[in-house]
Amino acid sequence: MLILSRTYARVLRAARRFDEAIIANEQLLKSRPQDRAAMYELGRALHSAGQRRRAVETLALTANEGSVAATRDLCRYGARGRLKTRTEGIFPPEDYDSFTKSNPTPQPPPTSTTTHFAVRLGAPSSPNNQTLRSLKEQSHAAWHVAHDDDSSPGQQPGMFDLVLPAGAVLDRHCLAWLNWAIDQTACTTVRADHDHFVANTDARCDPVLLPQPDFLWTENAKGIARLAAHGPGEARIAHLPLTLMTLPVDEAPVPRPLPDAPPRPITVIIPSRDNPKLLLAAVSTLLSQASEPDLVEIIVLDNRSRTRSAAVLFEHLAERANTRVLQFDEPFNWSRANNFGAVDATGDTLLFLNDDTEMLTSGWDRVIAGLLADPRVGLVGSRMLYPDETIQHGGFVFGMDNGPQHEGRWFPADDPGPAGRWIAVRQAVAVTGAFMAIRSQDFHALGGFDGANFAVDFADVDLCLRVRKRGMAVAYCGAITLRHHESVSRGLNLSRIQRARMRRERRRFEARWGEVARYDPGYHPAWTRTGCAYDGLQAPGLDEIVRHVLAGARAWIC
C-alpha cells in the first residue's frame, strides 16, 4: 500500500496535477511523518506548483537529514544557504565573510618585469590613514603616493596610475597581482574586484565580482569597476578575478541613464496556437506600453488553432491597422514559424515575442532603439518574471553542470542580483527568444533561426552565438521587464517525445559550438558551476585565474 501511495503521488506530479500531488503527499506524511521519500516528493510537488518558499522549507528538512537528492534540488533552486553543512567547499553568498577568511588571496606567479604604481589617495595621506597602512604592507614595493601636481603616468613608460577611493583597504598582494597581469597581458588597464566592510566592523560583504570587460556595464565613468590601474598607450583591458580591495559601505548608487532614442518602425512576430487570452494580453500590453504604438507592426502566426475563441480574437486583431494574422500550417517549429513571419515584416527592427508574455515597462521601444543605435550591439533581450513575482530569466549563464541556464531563476523580483546584474544593461552570452530584438538586416544576413536543427530549444541561444561570432554584443536589458507565463501554450518538456527532442537539440548545439557553449565571460570563476548560478562561492585555483586573465582579450567573441 505504501508503494502504491508513493507511486500515485509521483504520477500526479508527472501529470501536472500539482495540487492533487501535494494533497496526496501530505496525507501520506500524516500517517508516516518521518517518511523522507514522501517529504522529498512533497517538496518537488510544491516547487512544480510555484510554491517555492514552502518547497524550500520542505526540501531543507529532508536535505539536512541526509537526503542527497534534496540537497541537489536545494542547490538547483538557489537555496544553498538552507543547508546546515557546506557541499564541496562551496559557501552560500550570505556567508561571504567566512568565504574570505577561509580563502586568502594567493601570491601571484613570478614575473620578469616590475611595474611602478603612482597611487593617488581618495583621502589625505595621514599616518593613520587605513589606505596608506595597507599600501605599506604590500608584497610589491614599487609604488609611491602621487599628488595632484605630478605628471601623468601616461607619459612615463613603465608607470601605472592607481586612483583609490576614500577608505579603501588593499589586499597585501594587490599590487603584486596588478603587476603580474600587466606583465602577462601587456594591457594598458588592469581591473580587479572589490568588496565592502560590514558597517562598523571589519567583516566583509557585498562583493563586486566583475565580468570580463563589458562596454555596456563596466567600461565607462559610471561603471561598476572601482579598482583599476591605468598605463600609457591605446586602451586594452584585462580583468583579474580576485577581490583585491575592500571599501566602506557604498552610498546608494546613482541610477544610470537608460539607452534612449526615438523609436524606429518595429515588427513584432508572435507565434500562437489556441491561446487567445494570453495572446490578447501580450499584444495589448505591448502596445499600451510603447511610446510610439503606431510604429509597431504586429504579425501573429496562427499555428493551426482550432477553437472559436482563437478565431474571434484573430478577426479582432486583424481590424487594427498595422496588424496581420498569417497562417502557419505546419507542425510546431518555433524557428520556422518566426522565420516565416520575418519574411513579411516591414520594420527596421524585428522583435520575436512569446504569446504568453505581458509587457510591464513603459517606453520599451525607446530603450530598444537606444541600444540598437549602437553598432556594437547586435541583439537585445529582457528580464522575465514568473506570475508569482520571481525571476524567470535574467540572461543566460554558460558552463554550469546542467548546461545553459537562466540567471536569477526563482529569486525574488526585487533582488537586483550580484552587483545589480539582473537590473543592469550589460552583455550576456545569450538571451531568451521569448523577447528578442534584432535589426531586420542583421537577422536576414545571419539566415534567421536554424529550424532544421533547433525546432524549439536552443534556437534562440544559437542565434545569439552567431551574433557574437560576427563581433556584435548580445545586450541583456534588465530595465525592460515582462511577465512570462512560461510554456503555458505548448506545455513543459514532460513527455518522452519532448524530452528526447530537447536532448537531441542540446547535443546538436554543443556539437556545433564546442567550448564556446561552455565558456561564459560574464560569469566570474569564484561563482560555483554546480546547481544554481550565483548561489555559491568557491575559490578559483591559480590555473583558473590565469586562464581567465589571458582569455580577456577575446572575451565576448566566439
Question: pLDDT for 101-125, tens place per residue?
Answer: 999 999 999 998 899 999 998 766 5
Neighbours of 337 (CB within 10 A): 25
Closest CA relative to residue 349, chosen from 261, 437, 445: 437
Whether pLDDT at 471 is above 50:
yes
Neighbours of 228 (CB within 10 A): 20
Query: Residue 393: CB partners within 8 Å, gap ≥ 6?
Result: 381, 382, 383, 384, 406, 407, 408, 409, 431, 432, 434, 484
pLDDT band at 36 (very low <50, low <70, confident <90, very high): confident
Q: Are 273 and 186 found together in one domain?
A: no
Looking at residue 152, its pLDDT comes to: 55
Q: Are 81 and 220 found together in one domain?
A: no
Q: Are 291 and 163 found together in one domain?
A: no
> Higher-confidence residue: 335 or 125?
335
Total domains present in the chain: 3
Query: Residue 326: CB partners within 8 Å, gap ≥ 6?
Result: 299, 300, 301, 302, 340, 341, 344
Question: Would residue 259 count as lying in a domain?
Answer: no
Q: Are 359 and 437 found together in one domain?
A: yes
Question: How do strand 357-359 and strand 391-393 relate by DSSP bridges?
Answer: unpaired
Question: Would residue 339 count as lying in a domain?
Answer: yes
Q: Which whole-number Å values give the CA distances from 177 to 105, 115, 173, 193, 535, in the listed order?
A: 10, 11, 6, 12, 27
Residues 358-363, mean pLDDT to the nearest whole number: 98
CA–CA separation, 457 and 268 (whole Å): 20
Looking at residue 128, its pLDDT comes to: 56
Q: Are 230 and 352 found together in one domain?
A: no
* CATH code for position 167: 3.90.550.10
Q: Are 243 and 270 found together in one domain?
A: no
Whether pLDDT at 192 is above 60:
yes
Q: Which one-letter DSSP state was computed for residue 210? A: -
Measure the CA dihedral 216/219/225/229, to 10°. 160
Q: Are 284 and 413 found together in one domain?
A: yes
Helix (H) / strand (E) element for 301: namely: strand 296-302
Looking at residue 151, its pLDDT comes to: 57
Residues 292-304, mean pLDDT to the nearest whole number: 97
Which segment, 32-36, 62-66, 411-415, 434-438, is predicted with the most confidence on average?
Answer: 434-438
Measure the CA dihedral 497/499/503/508, to 10°. 60
Question: Would residue 418 count as lying in a domain?
Answer: yes
pLDDT digits (tens, 9 = 90+) for 538-555: 999 999 999 899 887 555
Looking at residue 28, its pLDDT comes to: 85
Question: Would residue 109 count as lying in a domain?
Answer: no
What's the mean per-residue pLDDT of the chain? 90
Whether pLDDT at 25 is above 90:
no
Neighbours of 365 (CB within 10 A): 30
Question: Would residue 535 count as lying in a domain?
Answer: no
Whether pLDDT at 284 is above 50:
yes
Which grid cell sits at 337?
A: 514559424
Q: What percent of the chain has pLDDT over 90?
A: 70
Residues 385-392, mean pLDDT to the nearest whole number: 92
Q: Which whole-number Å values give the CA distances from 39 to 1, 53, 303, 553, in the listed order?
A: 17, 15, 41, 49
* CATH code for position 57: 1.25.40
Residues 217-245, mean pLDDT to the nearest whole number: 88
Q: By residue range, what is the domain housing residue 352? A: 266-517
Q: Are 239 and 332 found together in one domain?
A: no
pLDDT band at 489 (very low <50, low <70, confident <90, very high): very low
Residues 456-485, mean pLDDT to the nearest whole number: 96
pLDDT band at 376 (very low <50, low <70, confident <90, very high): very high
Q: Are 208 and 350 found together in one domain?
A: no
Looking at residue 92, its pLDDT comes to: 94
Identity of the residue numbered 272: S
Q: Are 142 and 80 found together in one domain?
A: no
Looking at residue 253, its pLDDT comes to: 64
Q: Are 366 and 464 found together in one domain?
A: yes
> Higher-confidence residue: 479 or 32?
479
**Residue 447, helix vs strand vs coil:** coil
Chain position carrying cell 560583504: 205
Looking at residue 488, its pLDDT comes to: 38
> Higher-confidence residue: 365 or 411?
365
Helices 52-63, 68-76: crossing angle, 10 deg rounding: 140
> Higher-confidence residue: 5 or 78?
78
Residues 15-30, mean pLDDT to the nearest whole number: 85
Whether pLDDT at 155 is above 60:
no
Looking at residue 374, its pLDDT comes to: 97
pLDDT band at 490 (very low <50, low <70, confident <90, very high): very low
Helices 276-288, 308-318: crossing angle, 10 deg rounding: 20
Question: Would residue 255 count as lying in a domain?
Answer: no
Question: Would residue 557 count as lying in a domain?
Answer: no
Whether pLDDT at 462 is above 80:
yes
Question: Would residue 322 count as lying in a domain?
Answer: yes
Whether pLDDT at 84 is above 90:
no
Could you please report the per-residue DSSP string of 352-391? EE-TTEEE--TTHHHHHHHHHTSTTEEEEEEEEE-TTSBE
Q: Are 233 and 338 found together in one domain?
A: no
Neighbours of 392 (CB within 10 A): 22
CA–CA separation, 110 and 51 (whole Å): 53
pTM to 2 decimals? 0.91
